[in-house]
Amino acid sequence: MQFYDLPDARGHFGTYGGIFVAETLMQALEELKLAYEHYRFDPEFQAEFTSDLKHYVGRASPVYYAKRWSEHLGGARIYLKREDLNHTGAHKINNTIGQALLAKRMGKKRVIAETGAGQHGVATATVAARLGMECVVYMGSEDVKRQSPNVFRMKMLGATVVPVESGSKTLKDALNEAMRDWVTNVDSTFYIIGTVAGPHPYPMMVRDFQSVIGHEAMTQMPELTGRQPDAIIACVGGGSNAMGIFYPYLGAKEVRLIGVEAAGLGLATGKHAAPLNAGTPGVLHGNRTYLMQDENGQIIETHSISAGLDYPGVGPEHAWLKDSGRAEYVAVTDQEALEAFHNLCRFEGIIPALESSHALAYAAQIAPSMDRDQILLVNLSGRGDKDINTVASLSGITL
């Protein structure tokens, strides 16, 4: 069924991916790769993972027909894959459960994570609490400010949240700091990366754990609509929710796969977070991929209303899917995402995450020009409760 068998043994997706880290981490990544290669096909591991996804996360997540919103837009019917209904409110938990089960089997007692919007941090703190592991989450101090409900959530779950003051004080700097922690505590610590980026085997491993989203959709869509959708739309920061829903569909060539990046204030302004649309290939955070960088190869500051998309790189498999043409990558602005956010609230009674609102916004752009019998499936990757402060302050309201 798969349309290709990537990555290769050292984590390459064409020229992208790979292992670009300091020597101290090479052996740890080798051990992780061997452990994952073993448990990936271990029936007992898979059974525990599947059982946790069902009983703890609440999977399968439903697919929901957004009838009133679709009719308002006129044109294609829009379906939503409801990852927002998962325990902890986003798709991130699928991956943290997988990696934490692996950490447990590798005998690691301490887990660390980076987080942007805080969803991955919360999902990591959640599984660490459940498995009785020590948990430290690195978060840019800018993000600590704009995502304060999630910071408090992590603390309640027993995690230590470390605000990162270096660089742009956002997700990329949190990742740098988590890497520094890992280099220092490599024997005791498992680094739970939250997206399909980083050095091999992370992009592959996170994709595999998240691909439950696409596998469910493949069964659910024919049940609901009699067929697969015409297009699948997902937001892309690092790209884990998109990779999770795209991956099982890679071989289904009749289904368009559309990743939506954050155009921020507009691609022309330079204030955005859209490396696939406006970046160039380079090496950052352990892999080769598209990056937002200047002519000297320095990473430039990104901007997005959504903390979870505010990242200058992107998973290497997306870089490869872009170059190969199998997936398309577009971008929508802060303003367009906000409009979709409000519309989903008003028409469907669903408060979407600002990240997912980018995918919704693109669906709203293309649906009107499509026929009523055409179907769009949007990955509603998370709920928007964490974003109410951001949205309120944009409307001049202090909560």
Partner 1 sequence: MSRIETTFQQLKRQGKKALIPFFTAGDPSPELTVPMMHALVAAGADIIELGVPFSDPMADGPTIQRSSERALAHKVGLKDILGMVKQFRQDNAATPVVLMGYANPIEAMGYEKFASQAQAAGVDGVLTVDYPPEECGEFLACLAQHALDPIFLLSPTSVDARVAVVAKAARGFVYYVSLKGVTGAANLDLSAVKTRLLKLRKQISLPIGVGFGIRDGAMAKAMAEFSDAVVVGSRIVQEIESAPADQVVARVGVLVKSFRSAMDS
Please give the residue ranges that form the binding site for partner 1 (CB under 8 A). Answer: 10, 18-28, 166-167, 172-173, 176, 179-180, 183-187, 280-286, 288, 291, 293, 295-300
Cβ closest to partner 1, residue 23 vs residue 223: 23
Name the catalytic one among 83, 114, 261, 336. 114
- Rounded distance between C-alpha atoms, residue 155 and residue 265, angstroms: 33
Write down the least CB distance from residue 282 to partner 1, Å: 5
The alpha carbon of 212 is separated from its chain's Cα centroid by a whole number of angstroms, namely: 13
- Indicate which residue of 92, 169, 172, 386 is catalytic: 92
Return the structure tokens found at 117: 């919007």
SS3 per-residue string spanning 252-280 = CCCCEEEEEEEEECCHHHCCCECHHHHCE
Instruction: Tell me how far, at minimum, the Cβ of 19 lies from partner 1, in Å.
Output: 6
Measured from the CB atom, is 296 or 395 closer to partner 1? 296
Which is nearer to partner 1, 288 or 322 (by Cβ)?
288
Annotated catalytic residue 381: yes
Q: Which is nearer to partner 1, 141 or 185 (CB)?
A: 185
N residues, the chain: 399
Cβ closer to partner 1: 18 or 248? 18
Rounded Cα gap, residues 259 and 358, in angstroms: 10
Query: SS3 string of the chain?
Result: CCCCCCCCCCCEECCEEEEECCHHHHHHHHHHHHHHHHHCCCHHHHHHHHHHHHHHHCCCCCEEECHHHHHHHCCCEEEEEEHHHCHHHECHHHHHHHHHHHHHHCCCCEEEEEECCCHHHHHHHHHHHHHCCEEEEEEEHHHHHHCHHHHHHHHHCCCEEEEECCCCCCHHHHHHHHHHHHHHCCCCEEECCCCCCCCCCHHHHHHHHHCHHHHHHHHHHHHHHCCCCCEEEEECCCCHHHHHHHHHHCCCCCCEEEEEEEEECCHHHCCCECHHHHCEEEEECEEEEEECECCCCCECCCCCCCHHHCCCCCCHHHHHHHHHCCEEEEEEEHHHHHHHHHHHHHHHCCCECHHHHHHHHHHHHHHHHCCCCCEEEEEECEECHHHHHHHHHHCCCCC
What minimum distance in Å lies between the beta carbon of 98 and partner 1?
24
* Residue 142 C-beta: closest distance to partner 1, Å: 16
Q: Which two tokens stand for residue 47?
A: 């059974």
Residue 262: CB minimum distance to partner 1, A: 19
- Closest CB to partner 1 among 172 and 383? 172
| Active-site annotation holds for 306 | no
When the beta carbons of 183 and 267 are compared against partner 1, the nearer one is 183
State the minimum distance, in angstroms, from the CB of residue 280 to partner 1: 8
Q: Based on CB atoms, which residue is closest to partner 1, 122 or 276? A: 276
Marked catalytic residue, from 142, 355, 381, 386: 381
Q: Tell me how far, at minimum, the Cβ of 183 lies from partner 1, in Å.
A: 6
Considering the complex, what minimum distance in angstroms separates the CB of residue 119 from partner 1? 22
**Residues assigned a catalytic role:** 92, 114, 381
